[in-house]
A and B are shown apart, each in its own frame.
Chain A
Amino acid sequence: MSDMYKNIASDLSGKCACGIVLLFMLIAVTASFFVGDPAVIPEGGLPYKAPGYVIAKTGEVMTFGTDQIGRDVLAGVMYGARWALIVGFLATLISACIGISFGVVAGYFGDTDFKVNMVSVVIAIFLWSIMCFYVWYMNWGVWIMLIVFSLSSFVIILLLYKIHSNRLFIRFNIKNNLSLPLDFIILRLIEIWRAIPALFILLAILVAVNNPSLWTVVVVIGVLRWTSIARLVRAEFLSIRNMNYIRTAKSIGYSDFRIILKHGLPNAIAPLFVLFAFSVSSAIILEATLSFLGIGVSVDTVTWGSLMSAARQNYRAWWLVLIPGLCIFFLVLSLNVIGDRLAEQR
């Protein structure tokens, strides 16, 4: 990790980029010490006042001016940093989890290496669909349902994978003679995912959801954008699966889990960091675009995008465009520089 930092900060622009990201993190953490709640209109605040406006009643100085209903833009910008970083990193974390697991499965097992038997596949699919059915009609909440669905799918895949050592199967001489074409399935899934325009799906989901909050935006962005990570991880694993150290590990009898976690991932993760950096920046831009269009953000959540959307009703309010925009620009620029440095060192 320190090695990576040395490579990023090898020249001035890299150092600046790291500094800017750290600065924004600092602002995000300490925002509540400097400014008040950005959603509250300060007493006597008037809408659309230029930077440096002093509220006559209380003598408070609005350093960055006020927005369309008279709220402090400085507070909004500082709290906006918090949201931008949360959205960027959390969404990337979610898409990384999904993307890495799909990519690993597709790349490591390929079309031929995941051997199962017909009986266990049929049983697993049957059990899984029965369980889905009962969960669906049990009147539990949406979140519990989603968690149960994803966990159970995971467990079923594990079972499929482990079931061949079951005594019962050995007793009845049921062999693993069916190779599940996981690579093919996951590639088709990625193909479908990429044919559908992400921004539209995002808009449609956020409009269809009742009272979406920024957390919904984070989850939806994260879930929608796993394909590029999955493709990269798959390519990495395809290239290392036939290397000697993996073959050796297999011949010693290491389990596939151990090989993937201890030997495969550490070697595949380095090129991923480049993608993570770009992914964080594009998630930030996507979220800003959404709140700029006024979708997915409630009125009392102030983000950089929602500040800028206030300028759409009044194009004379240049500070509402310039200040949050510069914040987004600098954060995204420095993340891109970091990504670029990481790509260069390879």
Chain B
Amino acid sequence: MIPVLGIIIVLSYFMYQYSGADPVNSMLLISGVVADDVSSSNFEKEYKTIAKKIGRDLPLFYLSIVPSYFPDTLHRIVLPDKKRFSIKLLREYKNWENIDNYLGQLDRLNLESKDITLSQDLRQAIFQFNLKVSPKNLQRINASISKEINYVSDDLKIAFFDLKKGQELLNNNRSSFFYPKILFHKNRNQFHIWFKSILTGNFGVSLTDGRSVKSKLFKSLQWTLSLSILSILLASFLSICIGFITAYKKNSFVDKLIYFALFILFSIPLFWLATLMIVFFTSDNFGKWTNIFPSVGVFYTGEGSIFKQFAHNFSLLILPVFCMALQATAYLGRQVRSSILQQANEPYFLSALSKGMSRKSALWNHVLPNALLPFITIITAAIPASLAGSLVVEVLFNIPGTGRLMYQSILNDDWNMISIILIIISVATMLFYLIGDILYTYVNPRIKLES
């Protein structure tokens, strides 16, 4: 279990890193720094400070396998555009010394071209060159500089000719051969810091609004857990009743009818059921009597204990709980029925009948407790599954639970949040599977732990 957990943590970390989301940018947005033309150098400075603060200038993992032409210190470049650009150049020319020089020259050219009043032509050419570095675009700058050679400042000229020289150097020293190189980074890497902070319970801040991940998650878990526990309780009650009735009246008309109804319910997609409920039962568009439930609204999530909030929103929770419970009943009811019928084939049921017990009380007293044994694993598996499974219902009914939180974080690229939720759900899933197994062996000692 521990190695599996470790793999999941590493997986979610690498999904975070390779998702393309930029946490520094989001943090800058929260603090109100915006990238624009005027203060771009200021933006870069702020970016670098924050990146350094959260350790983005460290290597990703304990070790990295890179081509031999990669420098050891590539991770120190924190600006994503610059990093992407240098990697692109590296892959093309495979010679870091010249590329490093070249990048410095390019920076100087950009700096020089910013201060003075340039002609439209030259400005355009430099802009194009920054977008796509190619000999053709370089030629274009060359042409427009030589056209207005008298107006252009000396610094810019020098910068440009340096750049041209750098380009030639790059072109001449192209190499194609490379071999893998393994770099070890010890403890000073991003994964180590991230993992340590998670172990100590410091989950960082959410990248959408800067609030702490822990408090957001805790609040949403309350909603999701209350929703799922309520619906699981309702579903178990319904399915035990239904399973018992259908098994008791096996092959009768009632049995067939209920079985058919459960089958139909099983085929209804949850999101369709919820939407239908919202469309037809929360408004009086289709007659006065259809306006049964309150319309989907904003939940009261202010101060006070969870119970107080719960009492406030109870009427809003009826419909979602009902939807989730119906969906679960469709599955559980059939399970209970087949489980009871299976147990009714056992000899102890026959002997109970032959003692003179009625079929009903024999089913209720002897068969049902045995038939409900598999229920333990199903229900313990259902609780962690509902953390993710309630997503659709929470999004549709505007419930501020884990599913909706995850949905919004995914849409906002808030990977601080996503990775923590992923880890928590995986841990919960495995933990509840384990609890289910232990409970099952405890209740049913015929099963040995070894299997």
Interface residues, chain A, with chain B CB atoms under 8 Å away:
130, 133, 137, 139, 188, 191-192, 194-197, 199-200, 203-204, 207-208, 281, 285, 288-289, 292-293, 308, 311-312, 315-316, 318, 321-322, 325, 328-329, 332-333, 336-337, 340
Contact = CB atoms under 8 A, between A and B. Distances in A.
Contacts of A194: 429
Interface stretch (B138-146, B157-165, B364-372, B410-418): B410-418
B258 to A, nearest CB: 15
Given A133-B65, A195-B429, A285-B269, A311 B275 contact: yes
Given A195-B430, A289-B392, A332 B65 contact: no
A200 B410 contact: yes
Interface stretch (B99-107, B260-268, B313-321): B260-268
Contact of A292 (B266, B271, B278, B421): B271
A115 B411 CA distance: 48
Nearest to B273: A325
Contact of A207 (B388, B411, B429): B411
B276 interface: yes
A203 B410 contact: yes
Contacts of A192: 4, 7-8, 11
B312 to A, nearest CB: 23
Given A204-B418, A285-B269, A289-B392, A196 B8 contact: yes
A130 B418 CA distance: 33
Contacts of B276: 321-322, 325
B272 interface: yes
Nearest to A337: B263
Contact of B391 (A199, A308, A340): A199
A200 B406 CA distance: 8
Nearest to A314: B279
Given A200-B410, A203-B407, A340-B263, A329 B272 contact: yes
Given A200-B406, A311-B279, A318-B279, A288 B19 contact: no
B354 to A, nearest CB: 31
B4 A191 contact: yes
B166 to A, nearest CB: 22
Interface string B173-204: 00000101000000000000000000000000
Contacts of A315: 278-279, 282-283, 285
B15 interface: yes
Q: Rank and list the top 7 A-B pairs by shortest CB-CB distance, nearest first.
A: A197-B388, A333-B267, A325-B272, A195-B426, A208-B19, A285-B269, A332-B267
B337 to A, nearest CB: 14
Nearest to B268: A329
A318 B4 contact: no
Contacts of A328: 269, 272
Contacts of A322: 276
Contacts of A133: 65, 67, 180
B83 interface: no
A169 B391 CA distance: 56
A275 to B, nearest CB: 16
A135 B276 CA distance: 50
Nearest to B18: A208
A208 B395 CA distance: 20
A192 B426 CA distance: 9
27 contacts: A133-B180, A139-B91, A188-B4, A191-B4, A194-B429, A195-B429, A195-B430, A196-B425, A197-B425, A197-B429, A199-B391, A200-B388, A200-B418, A207-B410, A281-B267, A288-B271, A288-B272, A289-B269, A289-B271, A308-B275, A312-B275, A315-B283, A316-B285, A328-B272, A332-B267, A333-B267, A340-B263
A130 B425 CA distance: 35
A192 B407 CA distance: 22
B280 A318 contact: yes
B156 interface: no
Contacts of A208: 19-21
B256 to A, nearest CB: 11
A318 B279 CA distance: 7
Nearest to B269: A285
A150 to B, nearest CB: 19
Nearest to A204: B410
A308 B280 CA distance: 14
Contacts of A293: 392, 395, 407
Central interface residue in A195, A289, A318, by most chain B CB within 10 Å: A195
A329 B268 CA distance: 6
Nearest to B178: A137
A99 B196 CA distance: 36
Interface in B393-412: 395-396, 406-407, 410-411
Max count, chain B CB within 10 A of own CB: residue among A200, A293, A321, A322: A200
A311 B275 CA distance: 9
Contacts of A312: 275, 396
A328 B389 CA distance: 20
A329 B278 contact: no
A328 to B, nearest CB: 6
Interface in B409-450: 410-411, 413, 418, 421-422, 425-426, 429-430
Given A130-B180, A293-B395, A288 B269 contact: yes
Contacts of B3: 188
A195 B8 contact: yes
A308 B271 CA distance: 10
Given A133-B65, A196-B8, A321 B272 contact: yes
Contact of A321 (B263, B264, B275, B430): B275
Given A200-B391, A308-B272, A318-B285, 20 more contacts: A133-B67, A137-B67, A139-B91, A195-B430, A197-B389, A200-B422, A204-B418, A207-B410, A208-B20, A208-B21, A281-B267, A293-B392, A315-B278, A315-B283, A316-B285, A318-B280, A321-B275, A333-B263, A333-B267, A337-B263
Nearest to A281: B267
B213 to A, nearest CB: 16
A47 to B, nearest CB: 17
